[in-house]
Structure 1
Amino acid sequence: MRDDEDLPFVAALYASVRAEELAATGLPEAQQRAFLDQQHRAQHAHYRAHYPTAEWLILEIGGTPIGRLYLDEWKREFRVVDISLVAASRGQGIGGAVLADIIAAAKAAGKGVSIHVEKHNPARRLYERLGFVLAEDKGVYDLMEWDMARPSDQGASEP
């Protein structure tokens, strides 16, 4: 996604992931859309600035985009910068399968895997099942890591 041709899909995906949380604020819909657009632009700029070597992948099934995976490979680990799926694709094992593939690649390379996750993100349960543990409390986010020293005996299926 280096040329930003997928940016409209990614912006809509971002909005879909955050919409329920923002709806609880009671803001008018137009203000919610404007806020989500501004937040997506800020996130996109942050990711570009702080993860310049990351792969920016659109996940597809049958040519239809269903999510995004931003992945950076570092000396000692693979950093999952972001993984998001459209609502219709959540809870079907897709995210678990993608993460299991990343863990397998990390194992083969002798590396760990890390991801920042919001404290109340339901995906935490999946990460924990896959063997990720809390590495650092970052306030709103936690840094979770899968380490070669702590491999998971769990499967990759979601609840």
Structure 2
Amino acid sequence: MPVFPIERPGTTLRPLTNADQPFLLHLYGTTREAELQATGWTDAQKAHFVQMQFDAQQRAYFAYPDAEFFVIEQDGALVGRLYLQQREEALLIIDISLVPQRCGLGIGSAVLSAVFAQALAVGKRVQLHVERFNPALRLYQRMGFRPVEDKGVYLFLEWGGATAPATPV
């Protein structure tokens, strides 16, 4: 799949490169900050843990067949990532993350809308997993994702088209 346009001024996707690894590590660390605050660990221990977990996550993500990995930029600044897998019946969002200071500004909605447009163009649904307490769940519901399966900690959600109603979880 080629890089597709985002209908938000200044927001772009580009393929991930090795030079993006420091940003991706930082981004991953921001997703674990609240959890790590409660550990009592030193900064060095936290950094070691984040590096170890990031490495494991990257290995797992890069093992997806037919996956594509993008960096999200806003006005030239690195602000997030989008990892997609092409499935026969759907586009699976393996991961979509934004740095905390860019959340709530419409970037995530614009990126999701672009993924929806790609899915509609090829007649596919959009799927993703989300932790049930992740604040992004509200965004996914507003944008029309509906629950398909409760996997305990995670919910498996699906968007089936522009008219898919949001279903509370």
Post-superposition Cα deviations, 1:54-109, rounded to whole Å, max 9, x if no partner, equal: 11101112221111111112111011111111122111010011101111221222
Aligned-partner Cα distance in 2 for 1:2–1:69: 9
SS in 1 for 2:29: helix
Name 2:123's counterpart in structure 1: 110
Q: Give the corresponding residue for 2:41.
A: 27
What percent identity do the matched residue pairs reach?
45
Say whether the 8 Å CA contact 1:16–1:86 is kept in structure 2. yes
Q: Say if 2:146 and 2:165, in contact at 8 Å, map to a contact too.
A: no
- One-letter amino acid of the counterpart of residue 11, structure 1: L
List gaps (5 residues or longer) in structure 2.
1-14
- Distance across 2 between alignment mates of 1:149 and 1:9: 33
TM-score, with length taken from structure 2: 0.83
Residues 61, 2 of structure 1: CA spacing in aligned structure 2 closer, same or farther, 3 A cutoff?
closer
Q: Counterparts in 2 of 1:1-159, with a 5 A limit?
A: 3-49=17-63, 51-148=64-161, 151-152=164-165
Write the distance in 2 (CA, Å) between the matches of 1:52 and 1:31.
33
In the aligned structure 2, how far is the partner of 1:125 from the partner of 1:26?
31
Q: Which runs of 5+ in 1 are unaligned?
A: 154-159
Match of 1:157 in 2: none
Q: Distance in 1 between matches of 2:76 and 2:65?
A: 26
Deviation at 1:133, TM superposition (A): 1.2
SS in 1 for 2:105: coil
The letter of the residue matching 2:58 is H
**1: CA distance between counterparts of 2:51 and 2:37?**
14
The 1:75/1:61 distance shift into structure 2, 3 A limit, reads: same
CA-CA distance at 1:150 after TM superposition: 5.6
Count of residue correspondences? 152
